[in-house]
Chain A
Amino acid sequence: MIRITLIIMSLVLSACAEASETAPSPRAEGLGELGELTELDSSERGASEAGIDPLEDAGPAAEVTPASDVNDTSTEREEDVHADALDAALEEEVAVQDTSPQDAASIPEEDSSLSEGEWSWPEGLYGSVPPTAFPPPEFLALNHDGESRGPEDLMGKPTVMWFFPFAGTPG
């Protein structure tokens, strides 16, 4: 009885193995047009391996291609497509960064005058330039004599304003 079961199991396994070898790869099927290209490539490759020019005669060598070959070539083709897409994206990025003289001329007059810049920040500054300059807020402060201070007290000359955590602390 056990022997019969083993024989049946071995038959089933061999049938499964045959099915997996002959069935087309789902991945190649899913690739659609790419899958067709892959088959063409693999047939060309098979022909060239056989020493036959695929343009003249596809020949019997091109007709049957093992599924494992299809998988290999589809992977290679997929990598090629990804590499091509990456190259295209890089070229596009370089094109965007590269401003030709014609592009520079198309910049409005005001912008180009700003880019020339009559005034620029001196080198060697310790402080950081804020992203945007803005006027003082409406605020209410008292000086150490108890007198009110407001935005108008920051006008007329440059101000260094330093914040301290507590009176009596260094700084």
Chain B
Amino acid sequence: MRIVGVGFQDPATNDAWVEDQGYQYEVWTDEDRMLSVTYGAADNANAFFPARVTVLLDEQGELLLEYPNVVIDVHPPQVLSDCELLFGTAN
């Protein structure tokens, strides 16, 4: 299982955040905003920041599930539950 955070800020800012939080996964800068627009986190490439949206992609990178209305407190366990249902606990 791969986890990727995606935002608009520069890599240095994200790096400091990753260090601070001790994230064990990559945080990407969406340079051309294509990811955000494709997955519904931004209306267009001129958006100031992406919305809080999560998507689940399969092994070929195809969109499997989307979470357009993220509620922070309950969201991580929900995504984890979906991953277990779809891929099992081994992943």
On A, residues with C-beta under 8 Å from B are 122, 124-130, 133-146, 149, 151, 154-168, 170-171
Contact = CB atoms under 8 A, between A and B. Distances in A.
A164 B13 contact: no
Chain A facing B: main interface SS: loop
B82 A127 contact: yes
Interface in B2-22: 2-7, 9, 11, 13-18, 20
A142 B14 CA distance: 10
Interface string B48-91: 01111111111111111111101010010011011101110001
Nearest to B79: A160
Given A126-B79, A155-B59, A163-B5, 15 more contacts: A127-B56, A127-B67, A128-B65, A128-B67, A130-B66, A139-B34, A144-B17, A144-B28, A146-B11, A157-B2, A159-B4, A159-B56, A159-B57, A160-B56, A164-B50
A158 B56 contact: yes
Interface of B: 1-7, 9, 11, 13-18, 20, 26-32, 34-36, 38-39, 41, 49-68, 70, 72, 75, 78-79, 81-83, 85-87, 91
A137 B38 CA distance: 7
A145 B15 contact: yes
Nearest to B86: A122
A18 to B, nearest CB: 71
18 contacts: A125-B82, A126-B67, A126-B82, A127-B82, A128-B65, A128-B68, A129-B64, A139-B35, A141-B31, A141-B35, A144-B15, A155-B59, A156-B59, A159-B3, A160-B55, A160-B83, A163-B36, A164-B50
A127 B64 CA distance: 9
